[in-house]
Chain A
Amino acid sequence: MPDTITQANEIRPAPLTAVNDFVVKFANVNGSGSASANGLFAKSIIRMGVPVAARNIFPSNIQGLPTWYEVRVSGAGHLGRRGGVDLAVPLNPQTWDDDVKEIVPGGYLFYDSTKPLPASKFRDDIHIIGVPLTAICNEAYKIPRERQLFKNICYVGALSHLIGIEPAVIEQLLKEEFASKPKLIGANLNAFNLGRDWAAKHLDPIGLQLQRADAVGDRIFVEGNAAAALGALYGGATVCAWYPITPSTSLAEAFTGYCEDLRTDEDGTKRYAIVQGEDEIASIGIVVGAGWNGARAFTCTSGPGISLMNEFIGLSYFAEIPAVIFDVQRGGPSTGMPTRTQQSDLLLAAYASHGDTKHVLLLPADPGECFEMGAMAFDLADRLQTTVFVMLDLDIGMQEWLVPPFKWDDAKQIDRGKVMTAEELEAGKFFGRYTDVDGDGIPFRTYPGTHPTKGAYFTRGTSRNRMAGYSEKGVDYQDNMERLLKKFHTAATLVPGPVVKPATQKTRIGAIYFGSTSAAMDEALETLEAKGHHIDAMRVRAFPFGQDVYDFIHAHEEICVVEQNRDAQLRSLLMIEGGIDPARLTSILHYDGTPITARFLIDAIGKRLDARQATRQITRKP
C-alpha cells in the first residue's frame, strides 16, 4: 500500500461497520472467468442463512469489456438494489476510476496490490485493502489460464477472511458444483485457501461482517427467464418458436433444457417442439399457426422483436388466436444498452399492431411470479383467444433472485377455454365462430380436423360476420369490434389483481408501481414511512386494469407512479384506459439502464412529498 495513503489516515472517516447489511461490488473483465467466483461468493452468503440480492451488469460482448457483479447482503431481506457501494473489488483497470468513485465514505476498497498504484488512484475517505492476488497466483500456478481463473477464487478466499464467510460453506458449494468433476473441487479449494491464508496472515477482518442467520428459509435462488420457462412447461406449452435476442435468449434455452428433462420419453420421443425461427416474424407466425390449431405456443423476445411481430400480434387479436409472448424488456436499439434493464415496452405491447387493438399484459415482479404468470398466461390466452404478454425485464429475467420455492397444485387441469368438440357439434349444438353466446365477448372455436361436416370455418383478420362468413359490411365490422372490446373487459376480471399495501396511517398519497421496481419500492416505502411520509402503495400485476385499480386512484389526492422508462408509460395507460386526470399522477422515473434503487426512490419520492407539504403550508391547505 502506498505510504501517502497511510499518512492520510487521520482524515479518514471511521470505517463502516455493519452486520449482514452491506453492498459489495466486483468489477471484472468480461470473459475472465469471474462470474462463477462471484456467484460462489453470493451463494455462500445465502448458505449462511443471510438473504442476498445479486446483480450482474454485463456488456454486449463475449470477451474484454467491463462487467460488474453487485451483491447486496441484507439480513432484513431487502432484495432490490440499495444504491451505493460499501466494499468495492475493482479488478478491471478500465473502470477503476469510476468504481472507486462509487464507494461510500468510510467504505472499503479491496484491490490487487501486486503492482504499486500512484496515490492519485485512491481516495482519502475510504479504507484501502491491498492483496497481491496476481503475485500469489503467479507463484502457485504455471499455466497462464490457471493463473487467471484461480485468481478469481483466490480473491473470494481473501474476502472470506475479511468479512467472515465460513470456509466449510465454500467447500460444500464446490463439492456440489463439481460433483461430476471431482478434480476441480480440490483445485478450487486450494485457490480459495491461498487467498484466505494470505489474508489471515496479513490483514484483520473489516467492519462489514457476516453472521450466520436463519433469514433465507426454504427460498430458492433463480433467474426470471428460467422461472418463466418452467412456468411455460407447467402451463402446458408444447410449441416454442424463438429467435435469439438479449435478454430473452436464456428463456428459450431454459425451456429447451427443462423439456429435455421433463417432457422426453425414455426412447427419446418428445412431447414438445422447439423451432429457432429465421426471425421474430416467423417465430410469432409459428406461434399463431400452432395456437390456431389448438397447441399451446409461445415465443420469447425483447422490444425489437415485438416491433417486428406487430402485424401478427394484430392478427392474433382480430382473428382471435391464442398466443403467449414473453417480452424481456431492455434498453436499446443498438448493441450495448440491450444488456441493461428497462420497463420501456409497456405501450408498445399494450397497443401492438395496426388498427384498434389492445392486449393483455401480465407484470411479474420477480422469478416467483414469472413461474406463476408464465403458466397462467397459457390458460388466459386459450380462455380469451388472444395474445397474452408476460412482461419481464432484464433485471428479473437475467438476474438470480431469492424467492419462495415454486409451487404447483397437482389437481389443476389445463383450461383450454371455449373449444367446441366433435360430440357437441354432432349433437347439433349451435356453432357461430364469432357469435357471443355467453355475453362475455368470447366466442367458441373449433380445432381443424374436429368433425367431418360441421364446425369448419375460414379464418380472417376482419371482413366477416358472426358466422365467419365473408362480409365487408360496416355494421358487421363494428359489431365484431364491440364484441372484442367486451372481451377485453372480461379479460380485466380474469387477470391477477393489484397488491395493495396500506400505509400505517390514513393518507391522501398513493404510489403505483409494477415489475422489477417492487423490491426497491417496498424498501423505500418502509424508510419513507419512518421519515413520516405515509403512502398507500399498490403494485399492479396486469393490464387491462380492474376497477380496483381505478378505485385506489380515486381514493387518493396524489399518486406517485413509479416506473423504469422515460415516457411514464404506465401513467399513460392509466390516463388512456381510466380517464384519470394527469394532474393526479406524479411520475417518478428511472431509466438509465441500471436497476432502480431504494435510495433513488427515497430521495425522489421524499423530495416530491416535501415539496408538496411546503406548497400546502404556503397555500394553507389542511
Chain B
Amino acid sequence: MTYILKPKLHHPSLPKNDLGFTRRDYEGRVSTLCAGCGHDSISAAIVQAAWELDIEPHRLAKMSGIGCSSKTPDYFLGQSHGFNSVHGRMPSVLTGANLANRELIYLGVSGDGDSASIGLGQFAHSIRRGVNMSYIVENNGVYGLTKGQFSATSDKGSKSKKGVENTESGIDLVALALQLGATYVGRSFSGDKEQLVPLIKGALSHHGPAFLDVLSPCVAFNNHAGSTKSFDYVREHNEAVNRLDVILGRTPITTDYAPGQLREVTQHDGSVLRLRKLAEDYDPTNKIVAANYLQERHAEGEIVTGLLYVDPEATDLHDRLGTTTRPLNQLETEQLTPGSAALAKINAGLR
C-alpha cells in the first residue's frame, strides 16, 4: 500500500469519453490493499468499464459490506456516493437504496466471506427478489483482513498457506446465482482485464440482478502451491466459453469474426451483448444448458469463465412491485399524504 496522495491534475492528453471525463475522473482514493492484490485489478476494471460506458459518476451508487473487497469502493468512482455497510449485509442495503431511487445504477461489491458465509442469505434473497444491480464478488477463497482463514468458497482439498487442507465443500456462487434467478451471470478472473471489463459493462447495463464471480487471488494468504485460488492455478484451469463486447443503443455492428462465431443478444433496453464464441454449442441464454455445462466442467477441474447466462427479457423488483417510475425519494407531500378528507372516511369506517 502507499501513502502518497493521487494528484488531482491530469495530463491534458488523456483520452476523454463522451461526457468529457478521463479515466482518472473515475478513480477513487489510493488503495490501501496489498501490492499486487487482485482486487485492485477489479477496481481498475470497474473504472475502465464506467468510463467506457459514459456513466455519469454521480448516477452510480457503490455499496459494500465489510472485508478487503468491501474496502475497494473507496478506491474507484470518487464522485459517486458510496456506502461501506455491515458485514454480509450489502445486499439488503443495496435493495433499500434501489427501492428509494430506481434511476441510479447500483454496484454492489462483496467478497467470498461477505457473500458466501455471513451474507449467504442476503446474497440469495437479493437475487431471487430481482434487484436491479451489478453484484460483484471478489472471490479469493480466504479471509484476508483477519489473516488467512478459509472462506466458504475454498474448494475441498485446497491448502491454506500453513499447509492445512480444507475438508469442507466449497460453495459455487455462480451455480447458486443461476438457480436463484440472476438474469445475468458471469465469472471472470482479476488477471484477465480483457475479459473482465466487458463483463462488468454488460452487468452495469443489464436491467435485473446481474452477478459476477471474479476470482481474485490474495497475494498475502492464498497465492501458494496447493491453493485453487492462486494466480497460477486459475490461469491454468481457466476455461472461457466466450468473449464479450457490450454495445449500447443501436449502434451498427461491424464484425471481424467468421459467421457462426458471433452471437448477439439484444437486451430489453436496446443494448447489445456481442459474444464471440470460444466453446462450441454453448448457449448463454439457456439456463439449464449453462447449469449442466458448469457442473460438467467443474467435475473436470476447470474454472469456466465468460458470460455464462443472460436473460435479455429480464425484469427487476420495481417491475414486479409495480412502483411508480418517479423515484420514491422524490415524491412530495401531496403524493404521499392522502389528507384530512381521506382520514375522515377512515374514521367513519371505525365507528
Give chain A's interface residues, CB within 8 Å of chain B.
46, 218-222, 230, 233-236, 238-239, 241, 262-263, 265, 268-275, 277-279, 281-297, 311-312, 315, 319, 405-410, 412-414, 446-453, 456-461, 470
Q: List 7 A-B contacts (CB under 8 A).
A: A220-B347, A238-B99, A262-B338, A289-B93, A289-B94, A407-B340, A414-B337
Give the distance in Å from the alpha carbon of A262 to the alpha carbon of B323 in the complex.
14
**Contact status A281-B89, CB under 8 Å:** yes
Tell me the B12-65 residues at the A interface (CB within 8 Å): 29, 56-59, 61, 63
Give the distance in Å from the alpha carbon of A315 to the alpha carbon of B90 in the complex.
13
Interface string of B65-91 (1 = CB under 8 A from A): 000000001100011111111100101
Known: A270-B322, A275-B95. A293 touches B351 (CB 8 A): no
**Contact status B96-A448, CB under 8 Å:** no
B253 CB within 8 Å of chain A = no
Bin the interface of chain B by size. 35 or more
- Chain B residues contacting A235 (CB-CB under 8 Å) are 337
**Contact status A447-B56, CB under 8 Å:** no
- Chain B residues contacting A414 (CB-CB under 8 Å) are 332-333, 336-337
B1 CB within 8 Å of chain A = no
**Contact status A410-B339, CB under 8 Å:** yes
CB distance from A233 to the nearest CB of B (A): 7
Give the nearest-CB partner of B332 in chain A: A414
- Chain A residues contacting B73 (CB-CB under 8 Å) are 458
Contact of B97 among A274, A283, A290, A296 (CB under 8 A): A290
**Contact status B97-A241, CB under 8 Å:** no
- Chain B residues contacting A293 (CB-CB under 8 Å) are 61, 96-97, 100-101, 104, 329
Known: A270-B322, A460-B84. A449 touches B328 (CB 8 A): no
- Chain B residues contacting A275 (CB-CB under 8 Å) are 95, 99, 129, 317, 321
- Chain A residues contacting B9 (CB-CB under 8 Å) are none
**Contact status B79-A453, CB under 8 Å:** yes
Give chain B's interface residues, CB within 8 Å of chain A.
29, 56-59, 61, 63, 73-74, 78-86, 89, 91-101, 103-104, 121-122, 124-125, 129, 317-318, 321-325, 328-329, 331-333, 335-340, 342-344, 346-347, 350-351
**Contact status B79-A456, CB under 8 Å:** yes
Contact of A239 among B58, B84, B100, B121 (CB under 8 A): B100
Contact of A315 among B58, B81, B86 (CB under 8 A): B86
CB distance from B35 to the nearest CB of A (A): 19
**Contact status A448-B321, CB under 8 Å:** no
CB distance from B153 to the nearest CB of A (A): 21
**Contact status A271-B336, CB under 8 Å:** yes
Contact of A287 among B94, B96, B328 (CB under 8 A): B96
CB distance from A140 to the nearest CB of B (A): 32
Give the distance in Å from the alpha carbon of A405 to the alpha carbon of B346 in the complex.
9
- Chain B residues contacting A405 (CB-CB under 8 Å) are 344, 347
Contact of A297 among B96, B98, B321 (CB under 8 A): B96
**Contact status A239-B96, CB under 8 Å:** yes
Known: A222-B350, A295-B329. A470 touches B56 (CB 8 A): no
**Contact status B328-A239, CB under 8 Å:** yes
Known: A275-B95, A406-B343, A459-B83. A285 touches B122 (CB 8 A): yes
Give the nearest-CB partner of B322 in chain A: A270
CB distance from B52 to the nearest CB of A (A): 18
Chief secondary structure at chain B's binding surface = helix
Best-surrounded residue of B85, B122, B318 (most CB of chain A within 10 A):
B85
- Chain A residues contacting B333 (CB-CB under 8 Å) are 236, 412-414
Give the distance in Å from the alpha carbon of A275 to the alpha carbon of B324 in the complex.
15
Known: A285-B96, A292-B97. 11 other contacts (CB 8 A): A234-B337, A236-B333, A271-B328, A284-B92, A289-B95, A292-B83, A292-B93, A297-B96, A311-B89, A412-B333, A459-B81
Give the distance in Å from the alpha carbon of A458 to the alpha carbon of B82 in the complex.
5
Known: A236-B333, A273-B328, A470-B74. A452 touches B338 (CB 8 A): no
Give the distance in Å from the alpha carbon of A470 to the alpha carbon of B75 in the complex.
12
- Chain B residues contacting A263 (CB-CB under 8 Å) are 336, 338
- Chain A residues contacting B129 (CB-CB under 8 Å) are 275
Give the nearest-CB partner of A409 in chain B: B340
Best-surrounded residue of B78, B91, B325, B343 (most CB of chain A within 10 A):
B343
- Chain A residues contacting B59 (CB-CB under 8 Å) are 449
CB distance from B55 to the nearest CB of A (A): 11
Instruction: Give 4 closest A-B pairs by Cβ, nearest first.
Output: A289-B96, A285-B92, A295-B100, A448-B81
Best-surrounded residue of A274, A311, A456 (most CB of chain B within 10 A):
A456
- Chain A residues contacting B93 (CB-CB under 8 Å) are 285-286, 288-289, 292
- Chain A residues contacting B351 (CB-CB under 8 Å) are 46, 218-221
Give the nearest-CB partner of B85 in chain A: A315
**Contact status A286-B74, CB under 8 Å:** no
Give the nearest-CB partner of A468 in chain B: B82
Give the distance in Å from the alpha carbon of A461 to the alpha carbon of B65 in the complex.
11
Best-surrounded residue of B95, B100, B331 (most CB of chain A within 10 A):
B100
**Contact status A449-B342, CB under 8 Å:** no
Give the distance in Å from the alpha carbon of A238 to the alpha carbon of B99 in the complex.
9
Contact of A290 among B99, B325, B344 (CB under 8 A): B99
**Contact status B328-A282, CB under 8 Å:** no
- Chain A residues contacting B103 (CB-CB under 8 Å) are 449
- Chain B residues contacting A282 (CB-CB under 8 Å) are 89, 91-92, 95, 121-122, 125
Known: A295-B101, A470-B29. A447 touches B95 (CB 8 A): no
- Chain A residues contacting B321 (CB-CB under 8 Å) are 270, 273-275
Give the distance in Å from the alpha carbon of A410 to the alpha carbon of B83 in the complex.
36
**Contact status A452-B58, CB under 8 Å:** yes
**Contact status A220-B122, CB under 8 Å:** no
**Contact status B324-A265, CB under 8 Å:** yes
CB distance from B266 to the nearest CB of A (A): 27
**Contact status A238-B336, CB under 8 Å:** yes
**Contact status B61-A410, CB under 8 Å:** no
- Chain B residues contacting A281 (CB-CB under 8 Å) are 89, 92, 122
Contact of A271 among B57, B63, B83, B324 (CB under 8 A): B324
CB distance from B92 to the nearest CB of A (A): 3
CB distance from B29 to the nearest CB of A (A): 7
Give the distance in Å from the alpha carbon of A311 to the alpha carbon of B59 in the complex.
28
